[in-house]
Structure 1
Amino acid sequence: MNNINHEGELQIVFGVHEEDYKTVCNNLYNYNVSETNGLLNKPGQTINLFLRDETGKAVGGIFCATYCETLYIDNFWIDVEHRKKGYGRSLIMQAESMASELGCKLAHTSTFSYQSPEFYKTMGYKVFGLIDEYPDGIVQYFLKKRL
């Protein structure tokens, strides 16, 4: 892919530029904090819980952010051999409890049809939107729950 010039002023550049990535993300974050009068920082803590086997190996985990008094479940995975044993329920309940203690009033996430929309529904999450235009009938669900 070629660089694109706009009348010699700015360039659009494709590639991996770690420092530039950090600059853009940090500036967007700072703008968002300013525009929300600091609400973006409330409570502003990550909640990362791991499920470990007897050897200490991670066989699952849930990684969440908290902002605007909301819990966002970003990544949630359990190894296939440990699924359907209640570990997922325990992890999500612990994350929700910790978020509630921090002052969060809402939780939200997204998941695909081949992942776990039914699991989230059993945990009290409600679908508030979806994208159903992916190939092969794949649907992305957006879910939320009052804490």
Structure 2
Amino acid sequence: MSLVKFRRRPFGNLATQDFFDMDNFFDNRWASNMLPENFWNGKSAEPALNIKENDDNFEIELAAPGFGKKDFEVTIEDGCLNIKAEKETSEEEKDDNYTRREFSYNAFERSLQLPDSIKDEDIKAKYDGGILSFKLAKKEEAKKLPPKKVQIA
């Protein structure tokens, strides 16, 4: 038997994490060390995400300005919250001496592994002011109970 020096596990401690961001898993672990700092010109193709845990629920906020409610597709599949958005616009203007044509295409996808403590049937979503927000209710057994006082005999 030989001893091997302990090293940090490459996957971290996934068992104790509530949410697991599958989209950033490989980026954060390996690709960030292999790609040059300015590879993407400092811009991210993914919207910023905030996750907050309360006693009764989780709140998720995703910054996605410029989209409309109809541009989003949100699904829950195999314990994952999948958020997909796509928007395409085009504009053309013709005048006597010139033609102006502009178009844009924006899209992203994010997937979050949901904890087992979430009620899949009780997830609410709202899009307002460029922020897509979710409230994910916790199962009763997962809610934090107030401490109980133990009497000493």
Query: Higher relative CO (CA 8 A, sep ≥ 6), structure 1 or 2?
Result: 2
TM-score in same-fold range (> 0.5)? no
- Kindly name which structure, 1 or 2, has the bigger radius of gyration based on alpha carbons: 2
**If each structure's helix is expressed as a fraction of its own residues, which one has the higher value?**
1
TM-score (norm 2): 0.27
TM-score (norm 1): 0.28
